[in-house]
Structure 1
């Protein structure tokens, strides 16, 4: 498995989701989409990867594009989540597994875990010899921070609240943007850093969530079937929410940030298509709820949490409105 190629494929797919010209990005970087997607012997130089990131930053006009990518990237897409889950019972086990696998994904950083009295600190240290790749270093470092926070949330089915996030390239004028993406405050630090309460280390990883993540990866094309009356932007938002649903329901602010527009602009464009963000979220929840009840053994409570309901009872009421049956009754009648 060429994990670096898989990572690059995910990055290009992410660019497509944001409406960027991926063909232009790769051609300016010295290779083609066909080579990236189809070649089993695909090779790319460090300079070409640097060119990819530079072109993405330039075309998107977004210096925080690495953070956005990290908030949407799925560990399951790298095909290594199974190894982590199967050999991990707790967050501590999972982090140790991820640290041992880091070199498969990137040579730029080494992951360090520092256990303090009350907190656990994850640091990503720059490896030497890559100063000629400044854009790649910065964007991939940002990616790792957001990716770490969002994946821990997904594996735990809990809203992980870091006590501190540190970024070497932190810019005070972008504080609100950092907070929107990371769901916490950030500050400048020597290394890329995520600190969270030490008690999280002993939390069990809920394997049912891995079942749902795997199902999403394997069946994603079957799920991407929004109402045909939806316009182009509505469909893109529907598909984006589907692909990232296991990270909890995303706020309209987070989605607008991913599509590089303001909330007001997003709402206006959806209105022009005869849709609203709330309607799309409801359609996503309905599609996923029905699919999960048919294809997983996850409990009603677990599914309700993943779909962003505060209480299982609210999910049960919504499901009954959609199908005329309770989730449990629907599961029994569909098998």
Structure 2
């Protein structure tokens, strides 16, 4: 069995900010340990577990993880929140959550399986003695809370929720929160969702990503005041495409109801190319993202659809003459 001292899993620094916000809201004194993680992009899973255990000692209330999850904001989840907010269906959200889960919560590996008419999303692979009910509770509650309050999936029908630790005295609190049967002392901590739920559409309203995209689109339009309506649509398509990793010219041209050749000809007449236009958008997006202290350089590289952080850093230095770290530091001087 893997020993605790050998385990090197980590969590996203935004979760430390979540505990800080929760402590402030509940009038809990901020510990030195919690204060210390506020400036970290990531910190060890063992420290996350200890912070939650400390919180439990201060807030001796049932279902503490559910209470903490009520305070989650997109900024606490970083890249996953930004990507999820650009998805079109619940199935796509869960797929992206699976793809990038370790960036936010490396404390538990994520397993997604089909079992008949149900999809299971399970947290496992960590020895039982390393986890607590609270670590599993908050990992599931954060996903559920985010889907409900920021993705507007208020009517998600979950079939069952399973926890590996023994049942507490107040199971009713959990069943009221998840609105389904909740079982304890199970082999795996998991959410079980009916397959038909995956097609549920996300009606994008005035969401965080929409605000972000609109601000960036406006910044682009301000830089290109003489742009045509097609140029504006192209900029918006690239902005959205980067969020979904569909920024190549083929899907962008299709979104604009044009052939690739027509789009290339239009850009050629303006003395530019699709690659140049895309890099302009990436540059402006990069500067917007770097102003957000909750986003790490790895987060930003992924948001801009770079396969490696080093590729993003090279591109940014070509655009500005500075590394992303140097540019970010200059903003706070």
TM bracket (short chain):
0.5 to 0.7
Residue matched to 1:146? 141
After superposition, what is the alpha-carbon deviation per residue over 1:276-325, rounded to whole angstroms, capped at 9, x for unaligned? Answer: xxxxxxxxxxxxxxxxxxxxxxxxxxxxxxxxxxxxxxxxxxxxxxxxxx
Matches within 5 A, 1:164-175: 164-171=160-167, 173-175=169-171
Unaligned runs of 5+ in 2: 1-9, 216-333
Matched, 1:77 2:72: no
- Per the normalisation by structure 1, the TM-score is 0.52
Q: In structure 2, how many angstroms separate the alpha carbons of the residues matched to 1:120 and 1:156?
A: 20
CA 1:139–1:126: 2 relative to 1, 3 Å:
farther
Residue matched to 2:202? 205
Counterpart contact for 1:123–1:191, Cα < 8 Å: yes
Residue matched to 1:187? 183
Residue matched to 2:14? 6
Matched, 1:20 2:16: no
Counterpart contact for 1:57–1:63, Cα < 8 Å: no
CA 1:68–1:85: 2 relative to 1, 3 Å:
same
Deviation at 1:106, TM superposition (A): 2.1
Counterpart contact for 1:85–1:210, Cα < 8 Å: yes
Residue matched to 2:90? 91
Matches within 5 A, 1:40-59: 44-59=43-58
Deviation at 1:69, TM superposition (A): 1.8
Counterpart contact for 2:78–2:104, Cα < 8 Å: no
Counterpart contact for 2:121–2:191, Cα < 8 Å: yes
Deviation at 1:44, TM superposition (A): 4.4
| SS of residue paired to 1:150 | helix
| SS of residue paired to 2:27 | coil
Q: In structure 1, how many angstroms separate the alpha carbons of the residues matched to 2:68 and 2:55?
A: 11
Larger helix fraction of residues: 1
Deviation at 1:201, TM superposition (A): 0.7
- State which structure, 1 or 2, has the greater radius of gyration over its C-alpha atoms: 2
Unaligned runs of 5+ in 1: 219-335
| SS of residue paired to 1:112 | strand
Counterpart contact for 2:112–2:122, Cα < 8 Å: yes
CA 1:162–1:214: 2 relative to 1, 3 Å:
farther
- Per the normalisation by structure 2, the TM-score is 0.53
Counterpart contact for 1:76–1:213, Cα < 8 Å: no
CA 1:148–1:44: 2 relative to 1, 3 Å:
closer
Q: In structure 2, how many angstroms separate the alpha carbons of the residues matched to 1:165 and 1:45?
A: 26
Residue matched to 2:156? 160
After superposition, what is the alpha-carbon deviation per residue over 1:181-200, rounded to whole angstroms, capped at 9, x for unaligned? Answer: 32333112211121122111
CA 1:82–1:123: 2 relative to 1, 3 Å:
same
Q: In structure 2, how many angstroms separate the alpha carbons of the residues matched to 1:186 and 1:105?
A: 25
Counterpart contact for 2:90–2:201, Cα < 8 Å: yes
